[in-house]
Chains A and B, each alone.
Chain A
Amino acid sequence: MSGLQIDKLSMRFDLPNGSSVQALKDVSLDLKAGELLSVLGPSGCGKTTLLNIVAGFLAPTEGQIILNEHTVTGPAAERGMVFQQGALFEWMSVRENVGFGPSMKGMPKAEKTEIVDHLLDVVGLQDFKEKAVYELSGGMQQRVALARCLANEPDVILMDEPLGALDALTREKMQGLVLKLWKETGKTIILITHSVEEALLLGERLIVMAPRPGRIHTEYRLPFAEMGVGQDLREVKKHPKFAEVREEILGMIWDMEEEIMGRTEDA
């Protein structure tokens, strides 16, 4: 079967002082092709570790990641990644950044230009293609990062708080763009975020992780992503179910934070 299987993933590493940290314990998850999963959790719950393992930047101590029926052993073009900020290559123009993946594959120039032009149209940066990336605003830079990732035609897109550094208004626009791209391209997406609202808006599936050891606490299947494709995200937020789930998750994370604080004080 195709799709992404996260299979009993555990991650444990030793600290210099002799103790060890259990960053993840028995995390299992099945993601069908084209699903959008958002991951929430308090800091230290292992969500970034999870994403880094899926990307292939870290090897788990137990368990495995299976994508399209083969085990992940390292980073590869099939799993694209969008970072929070500063992962664009500032020595390249917008066009060169977006065309980076195809260039690395040695794609013929004409074909590459076509892909890049198309994606710049999609993210609305056609007029900026010869600009240096540091001349763009934060929101535009993240649109370049999205386009760069899509240009490589990955099976899975991993997003590590891609909108975290943007201002509220830009962030809302970008959330709409992410939904639109998800629907148009049909990619499997894993999105890590700190914002409960963003996780609800974008997550077709949503997992809340708990810390020490990092594990999946609760899983939701939500209708809001589908709703958001057709209408204004602000309308989606007015849905009574939206507020209800948001309060529930906020309470859940609040309790976890309390528990961590309590434990730290005991120790």
Chain B
Amino acid sequence: MELLGNLWGELWAVLTTLFAAAPYIIGYILIILLMMVIWSGVKRLLTPKHDYGSLKTVTFGDESAVTSNTVASVVSIVLIFVFWGAFTGSKLLPGFLHAPGPFVGEGSFEYTITTPAGETDTAMVSVVVHPATQETAAPEVEPGDGIAKNDSTAIASYRSALLRVDRNDDMGRDEETFITAVDGQAIAPGGSVDVAFGRVAMSEKGTLNIVPATGLQMEPIWLPAPEAVWSRLGEIATVGYRNSTLAEHLGYSLFRVIVGFLLGAIVGIPLGYAMGLSNWFRGWFDPIVEFMRPVPPLALIPLVIIWAGIGEVGKIILLFLAALWIMAIAARSGVSGVRISKVHAAYSLGASKWQIMRHVIIPNSLPEIFTGARVAMGVCWGTVVAAELVAAEKGAGMMIMVASKFQSTDIVLMGIILIGIIGFSIDMLMRQAEKWLVPWKGKG
């Protein structure tokens, strides 16, 4: 029962977070829908098309009538960058698109103290909020007269500061004199009052906590602006990170993937053929292959590290295992998928077993093998990054993991984008290779 209670608490926390994000998500969707309406209006103004597709009257439910709208894709990508820029105060965007930024500049508020005798006095607190990168001293202020004396403080943006404003007063908390109001509004321990530049809260002990408004923009430490990521890319490409240049990090990751995949294919494809052509081989390897296939390669990382360490050998063994089963199964189903009439035809045209293998079974299985290779390359790429996150001296995954430990969010973001681009490029290359090498795919 306790477990259920805990899980309910976790679920509640997740839902609360989602609700907090809901206005932003809804805003995003509304903008996309607005774009859709605008585009359909613009389209009407353009020269109407008269191809076959546009003459269809039934498009809702017709799968062939639904194609990816290029305009929507462009809007989608542009919007991601606009949002990114808007919430990070990017210099690439005109200022009116920026989300409200954190308060920077000078502000002040007034506080009121009440002595045990019931006397009150007020004093000013001058606050300078400065960008975190630019150290600024607290402004000099005249103490003023009365029991309460004026104070000043400097706070970096996105930060807050506890300030014992009564320390320089003639009567402080030791004399049972307490702050009772801020800017004329009553305040008590635990409470807070909104002021022009943000908020002033009072701690349980009666100290004021000055919290300048943070706006809606993200602090660079959480989300750097696009141009910051871009300039970090340039820096890492030339200077490098952790003793290796960007090309070395990515090159090592790709090297592992390619070597691991090739080894997996070299062993897996003949294994798959053997399983597709011989009862004995099928029986021999079926239990192994069927068991190993659903084991995520990531689950093998600890064992591979124990056995082979964190060097190249371990990584390549891991990727070999990731590719091996996928390629074996692809080759097996490629062989099993050959139409018996093709094999019969080849036999009655006088082909020998070897000729049937060479001219019928292998070409017939190539489309399946290519599909398997695409899957295997994708899995290998994911696995290598994960393996590098765990332990590596070089590599894309290692780069972002180390960067995250130093809060270098720009490097982490850059790494994620590069990993995505490379993964996508691998898939596109495999598709292109498939088009060139097995044009008969799906035409049998």
Which residues of A are in contact with B by a Cβ distance under 8 Å? Answer: 55-57, 74-77, 79-81, 83-84, 86-91, 100-101, 104-105, 132, 134, 148-149, 152, 154, 158
Contacting residues, chain A, for B346 (C-beta < 8 A): 89, 100, 104
Report how far A88 CA is from B342 CA in the complex, Å.
7
Partner of B350, one of A55, A90, A91, A104: A104
Task: Please state if A75 and B347 are interface contacts (CB–CB under 8 Å).
Answer: yes
How many residues of chain B have a CB within 8 Å of chain A? 23
Cross-chain contact A89 with B339 (CB below 8 angstroms) = no
Task: Select the residue from A55, A77, A91, A104 with max chain B CB neighbours within 10 A.
Answer: A91
Q: List 14 A-B contacts (CB under 8 A).
A: A79-B348, A81-B345, A81-B348, A87-B344, A90-B440, A91-B366, A100-B351, A101-B350, A104-B349, A104-B350, A104-B351, A105-B350, A132-B439, A154-B348
The SS class assigned to the A binding surface is loop
CA distance A81 to B343 in the complex (A): 11
Smallest beta-carbon distance B362→chain A, Å: 9
> Once bound together, how far apart are the Cα atoms of A81 and B360, in whole Å?
16
Task: Tell me which of A56, A75, A91, A104 contacts B355 (CB under 8 A).
Answer: A104
CB–CB B348/A77 < 8 A: yes
Choose one: B350, B359, B443; the contact of A152 (CB below 8 Å).
B350
CB contact under 8 A between A86 and B339, given known A55-B344, A80-B349? yes
Task: Please state if A152 and B440 are interface contacts (CB–CB under 8 Å).
Answer: no
Residues of chain B having any CB pair with chain A under 8 Å: 339, 341-342, 344-352, 355, 359-360, 363-364, 366, 438-440, 443-444
Contact B342 A86 (CB under 8 A): yes
Q: Which residue of chain A is the closest to B345 with respect to CB atoms? A: A87
Contacts of A152 in B (CB 8 A): 349-350
Given contact pairs A104-B359, A152-B349, A158-B348, a sample of 7 additional A-B residue pairs in the complex whose CB atoms are under 8 Å apart: A88-B342, A91-B363, A91-B364, A132-B443, A134-B444, A148-B345, A152-B350
Contact status A90-B444, CB under 8 Å: yes
A90 touches which one: B349, B359, B443 (CB < 8 A)?
Answer: B443
Q: Which of B349, B351, B363 contacts A148 (CB 8 A)?
A: B349
Residues of A within 8 A of B355 (CB): 104
Complex contact A100–B344 (CB within 8 A): no
Q: Complex: how many Å from CA A66 to CA B443?
A: 38
In the assembled complex, the Cα of A158 lies from the Cα of B348 at a distance in Å of 10
**Which residues on the B side are within 8 Å of A83 (C-beta)?**
341, 344-345
CB atoms of B349 and A91 under 8 A apart? no
For residue A156, which residue of chain B has the nearest CB? Answer: B348
B349 x A134 contact (CB < 8 A): no
Least CB distance from A227 to B in Å reads: 31
Kindly state the separation between the CA atoms of A148 and B444 in the bound complex, as whole angstroms. 17
Distance in Å from the Cβ of A162 to the closest Cβ of chain B? 11
Which residues of chain B are within 8 angstroms of A90 by Cβ–Cβ distance?
440, 443-444
CB distance from A112 to the nearest CB of B (A): 13
Q: Which residue of B lies closest to A105 (CB)?
A: B350
Determine the distance from Cα of A188 to Cα of B364 in the docked complex, in whole angstroms. Answer: 31
Q: Tell whether, in the assembled complex, residue B440 and residue A80 are in contact, meaning their CB atoms are under 8 Å apart.
A: no
Residues of B within 8 A of A148 (CB): 345, 349
CA distance in complex: A77, B359 (Å): 16
Q: Which 7 residue pairs are nearest across A and B when measured between Cβ atoms?
A: A77-B350, A134-B443, A75-B347, A91-B363, A87-B341, A101-B349, A90-B440
* A157 CB to nearest chain B CB (Å): 10
CB-CB under 8 A from A84, the residues of chain B are 341
Q: Is the CB of B444 within 8 A of A86?
A: yes
Interface pair B360/A89, CB less than 8 Å apart: yes
Most chain A CB atoms below 10 A, which of B345, B347, B438? B345
A104–B339 touching, CB < 8 Å: no
Q: Which one of B344, B366, B439 contacts A81 once the chains associate, using CB atoms below 8 Å?
A: B344
Residue pair A55, B349 in contact (C-beta under 8 Å):
no
Contact indicator A87/B339 (Cβ below 8 Å) = yes
For A154, give the chain B residue with the smallest CB separation: B348
